[in-house]
Structure 1
Amino acid sequence: MTVEPVPRKRGRPRKEASAKAAGQFRLSRANLHERAFDRLRTMIVRGKLAPETPLIETDLCDMLGVSRTPLREALKLLAAQGLVELRQNRSARIAPMRIDTIHDLFEAMSGLERLTAELAAERMTEADLAELRRLQDEMERHEAAGDMDGYFTINQQIHSAIVAGAGNITLRETHEWLLARAERARFFALSSLRRWEESIGEHRAILAALEARQAETAGRLIAEHVQHTGREVVQILANHPTLAGVAA
């Protein structure tokens, strides 16, 4: 007698496949607010959305391709970084750049970067310094080409690399917190082409001090560099307050 094989049930695999697809769908939805946050933040930092610009939810949802829930989550994250102001019973808006806040941020950053540069001069490896030299060369190429976005991106990487070279997680996390709040003002300083050239020279001197393992000099130079950038931003805003919807 021949026994026919019993057909296998296919219900469970379909459920497993369905569960897997649902998990991917949930993950995708969970990332929507992060993508909205990243895109809006870049637009704010790079000046595509001017200070005090009202943020109309329907317009932003259409532009970003998200619903209101992830958009509102993104706006909360931006507000936590001081880039957006959430107003009760009114539309959120891009936060103005306040001179007192900018002064405080750059004062704090100059002190922190002084300490990290001093530590980095002692702790960075030769490979770390070679990477810093490569970034410096790349930044200078962007400056020569007049590429503001490229210049700024590499400039940020240089500062972060020096902080990382200090080998102190607490300092690194604190710097990331400050940098997130100062990034827009630092980009704004690049509206002065003269500042591009000055910054290149300052970065060369900082790199030379790090390569020579001159901790005190490296710390002093980077503190002066950060303070110089802060003064530049404050001066631009004081002379042209309407450029940034600035509130003193």
Structure 2
Amino acid sequence: MTMTTGFDAGPPMQRRNLHDDLVERLRDMIIAGTLAPGTRVHEGQVGAALGVSRTPLREALKFLASEGLISLQPGRGAVVRALTRRDVEGMLDVLVVLEDLGARLACRLATAADVVRIRALHDAMMAFYAAGDRLEYYKLNQAIHTGIVALSDNACLVETHAGIQMRLKRIRFIGNEQQAKWDGAVAEHVEMIAALEARDEERLAAIMRLHLNRTWDRVRDVV
């Protein structure tokens, strides 16, 4: 029997690699706003929509809580974390510093193969942009930022960057809701790849700083 749940969660979950698939699906629902900030996750409703029982769902929610996307509250259960304007602006300020350093180190340390791999992510991202697929575009967009910072070969930098980037996933996604803002972000990414391929650390650091500063401009009215 099919249960009506009141929202579109996509097709039922497959049993193969259930935990990872479930975490990814829930994360996507948070990023896209299907599970909106500040709302409680109704385990029965969401579990029915995804075709999973409460036990794996709860384990997935605990994992997302460790990423900062879910808050586990006494008496309410799992609640999608909501960020204030001050939270967002503060985290973006820190990301500017982290990605500036990551860009400089990447230009100094990346191998030719590393740069080719980032270029491949960029090209795949551009295909999703051309197709108008914002969610898949966004996932590769974030993979590029993560990938450039990872080229720094600085574990502390990578870990700190990953933690903040994870908490900002929903916020950065909504920055592309208007086509003009999305187009502008894409143009900045094109410049990033060109700078990385040229190993121009000043140029890459500058465009990544500009990109993050404009991210705040893109989202400030909807936070």
Q: Under TM normalisation by the shorter chain, which class is it?
A: 0.7 to 0.9
Q: Which residue pairs with 1:59 in the alignment? A: 45
Q: Partner of 1:170 in structure 2? A: 156
- Taking a change above 3 Å as real, the CA distance of residues 204 and 172 of structure 1, as seen in their structure-2 partners, is same
Give the SS at the match of 2:222: helix
**Matches of 1:53 and 1:42, distance apart in 2:** 15
Write the distance in 2 (CA, Å) between the matches of 1:152 and 1:87.
29
Greater share of helix: 1
CA RMSD of aligned residues (A): 2.3
The CA deviation string for residues 85-111 of structure 1, in whole angstroms up to 9 with x for no partner, is 333223433222321111122111111
Task: Tell me, in whole angstroms, the C-alpha distance in 1 between the residues paired with 2:50 and 2:200.
Answer: 48
Q: Report 1:176-215 matches (<5 A).
A: 176-215=162-201
Q: Specify which of 206, 219, 222 is matched with residue 233 of structure 1.
A: 219
SS in 1 for 2:62: helix
Residue identity opposite 1:54 in structure 2: R
Select between 59-68 and 36-45 the one with higher mean Cα deviation.
59-68
Shift of 1:124: 1.2
Q: Is the 8 A contact 2:92 2:216 kept in 1?
A: yes
CA distance in 1, matches of 2:21, 2:219: 29
Q: Give yes or no for the alignment of 1:119 onto 2:67.
A: no
Q: Between 102-111 and 226-235, report the one with greater CA deviation.
A: 226-235
**Counterpart selection for 1:74 from 60, 65, 69:** 60
Q: Which residue of 1 aligns with 2:202?
A: 216
Larger RCO of the pair (alpha carbons < 8 Å, separation 6+)? 1
Mark the CA change 1:158 to 1:125 in structure 2 (over 3 Å): closer, same or farther: same
In structure 1, what is the equivalent of residue 84 of structure 2? 98
State the alpha-carbon separation in 1 of the partners of residues 118 and 40 from structure 2: 40
- List gaps (5 residues or longer) in structure 1: 1-27, 238-248
The unaligned stretches of length 5 or more in structure 2 are 1-14
> Match of 2:154, as an amino acid?
N
The equivalent of 1:243 in structure 2 is none
CA shift for structure 1 position 222: 0.7
> Which of residues 38, 47, 55 in structure 1 aligns to 2:33?
47
Give the TM-score of the pair, scaled to structure 1: 0.75
Is 2:133 the partner of 1:147?
A: yes
Q: Distance in 2 between matches of 1:189 and 1:66?
A: 32
In structure 2, the residue matched to 1:5 is none
Q: CA offset at residue 200 of structure 1?
A: 1.6
Counterpart residue identity of residue 185, structure 2: S
Equivalent position SS for 2:79: strand
| Shift, 1:217, TM fit | 2.2
CA distance in 2, matches of 1:40, 1:191: 20
SS at match of 1:49: coil
Instruction: Using the TM superposition, give the Cα deviation of residue 138 of structure 1 relative to its aligned residue in structure 2, in angstroms.
Output: 2.6
Shift of 1:166: 1.5
Residue 48 of structure 1 aligns to a residue in which SS? coil
Measure, in 2, the Cα distance between the counterparts of 1:79 and 1:149: 21
Q: Residue 113 of structure 1: CA displacement? A: 0.7
Q: TM-score, normalised by structure 2?
A: 0.82
- How far 1:44 moved relative to its partner? 0.7
1:159 corresponds to: 145
Contact 2:69 2:166 in 1 (8 A): no
Q: Bigger radius of gyration, 1 or 2? A: 1
Shift of residue 117, structure 1, vs aligned partner: 0.3
Distance in 2 separating the partners of 1:52 and 1:151 = 25
AA matched with 1:182: L
Aligned positions, number? 209
Distance of 1:185 and 1:123 partners within structure 2? 31
1:143 counterpart SS class: helix
